Amino acid sequence: MIKKSVFILVLIGTLMVIAGIIYWIFGGIEVKLVGENEINVTYKSDYNDEGFKITKYDNEVSEKRYRYETKSNVDTNILGEYETVYYIKYFLKTYELKRIVHVVDNVEPEITTNIESIEKDYCTKKVLSKDLEYNAIDNYDGDVTDKVTKEENEEGVILTVTDNNGNVGTKNILYTYTEKPKDKFTLNGSSTMYVAKGSKFSDPGTTYKDGCGVKMDVKVSTSGSVDTSKNGDYKITYTANDLTVTRKVTVYTPSTNTGGSVSGKVIYLTFDDGPGSYTERVLNTLNKYGVKATFFVTHQFGSYVNLIKKEYEQGHSVAVHSYTHNWNIYKSVDAYVNDFNKMNADIEKYTGSKSKIFRFPGGSSNTVSKSYAKGVVKAIASRMTSEGYQYFDWDVDSGDAAGASRSKIYSNVVNGVKNCSKCIVLMHDIKSNTVNELDNILRELTSKGYKFGTLNVNSPTVHHKIAN
């Protein structure tokens, strides 16, 4: 009885050991795919399946201990559903694993542009950069540029395109702006003004604009004043938002000198702007008829300045017009006087003495000077006449400065002198039409018995109404 019990116990123990060994060999095994059982793969991409793994009691089994076979029909060049199947043999058992593969178009179309931002002017909001150009390419549909839509908002332009599989591509082209311009604080009228003594000074004031040119109502503080009862230079300073501008006001005594007078009808031929390349021809024509004229000279053509000597030696009057004949001589009285003195020095060099007569560039009635200094011509006239100089305008204009033809110049002069007793005729010895027609003009005038004269400081003057 005891022997039988022992046998049974031994048998049970043996069976349990065998069962444990069998469990150890075949139990705790897990065979599964790496990754998801169903996946999406991008069209035309490289597909490499993640495979599978075998674990035994959570420890990965070496590949040397199993065999497997793979079957796959995945073609990423064609959209569709495919399979990858693994057949795995491990310890007398075969496992089958299957992964479903969807080849899909999941790539957004790519939009490319010729510019990355659109530059605009800060003030006008006008586009300054190149026109926006774009194209769109999809990995499956190809060129989809014609499907691009464009939307504008405050920040820029949004380009959007959707391919046939619902993938949406976008690109934002942002607006950029030029730097904000600085505010501008400027004087109304001229920065330099000339006011006759005893007259009323009216301050033109100032204008304040933002950088985009829009007028702004800002507080302007002013310092300085003008006393028109006393000659002198005065300064007025204006300040607004830390910006400052200054105006110079000169009070002067106006001139009353109007020149002398002579009896009888006299024609005074005057030539401006030379000496130049035609001046010698003019001198020869004048000499032919025994006519003397007045030359208001400049230094515009340096190689001909020495002809001043010939003008003087032939008995003509030489007077100051301008050294530079540049309009900026009207920016101040001093600027004009400096230019005047340089030309008079030339005259003294070639004639032995300075001239006491002059003609304003553009005449005393010119308005161009207003762009440089308000009231400057009146102030110049006052100063120059107070120093013994006399200026001359004209009452017969040949029209050559405006480009008149030869026949028109002839008509303007010959008919013009009929309407004056002391005729000051304006011509230019640098104009070819004048030079070519001068012989005909002098033939006609001398045949009528007209007298000719040269201007000096005591000659009868023709003064236009000064406009500035």
The one catalytic residue in 138, 163, 272, 400 is: 272
With contact defined as beta carbons under 8 Å apart, do 104 and 40 qualify? yes
Which residue is associated with the tokens 């002017």? Answer: 121
Confirm whether 428 is a catalytic residue. Answer: yes
Closest CA to 127 of 117, 137, 136: 117
* Tokens of residue 279, six digits: 């001046």
Alpha helices in 155-202 (DSSP H): none
DSSP string covering 156-169: EEEEEEE-TTS-EE
With contact defined as beta carbons under 8 Å apart, do 179 and 120 qualify? no
448: Cβ contacts below 8 Å, ≥ 6 apart: none
User: Quick one: CA dihedral 332, 334, 335, 341, positive or negative?
Assistant: positive
With contact defined as beta carbons under 8 Å apart, do 156 and 212 qualify? no
User: Quick one: CA dihedral 211, 217, 219, 220, positive or negative?
Assistant: positive
Closest CA to 318 of 337, 300, 297, 298: 297
Separation CA 350–CA 348 (nearest Å) = 6
> Phi/psi class of residue 363: alpha, beta or left (left: φ > 0; alpha: ψ in -120 to 50)?
left
Provide the angle, in degrees to the nearest 10, between the axes of the packed helices 376-386 and 333-351.
Answer: 40
Closest CA to 170 of 183, 181, 180, 157: 157
Which residue is associated with the tokens 């027609």? Answer: 437
The one catalytic residue in 273, 316, 428, 429 is: 428
Separation CA 281–CA 429 (nearest Å) = 9
Amino acid 367 reads T
Q: Which phi and psi (to 5°) does residue 322 adopt?
A: -175, 145
Q: Is 94 exposed, middle or buried (0-12, 13-18, 19+ CB in 10 A)?
A: exposed
Q: Which DSSP state fits 353? A: S
Confirm whether 321 is a catalytic residue. Answer: no
Separation CA 252–CA 378 (nearest Å) = 9
Amino acid 125 reads K
CB atoms closer than 10 angstroms to residue 208:
20
- Residues taking part in catalysis: 272, 428
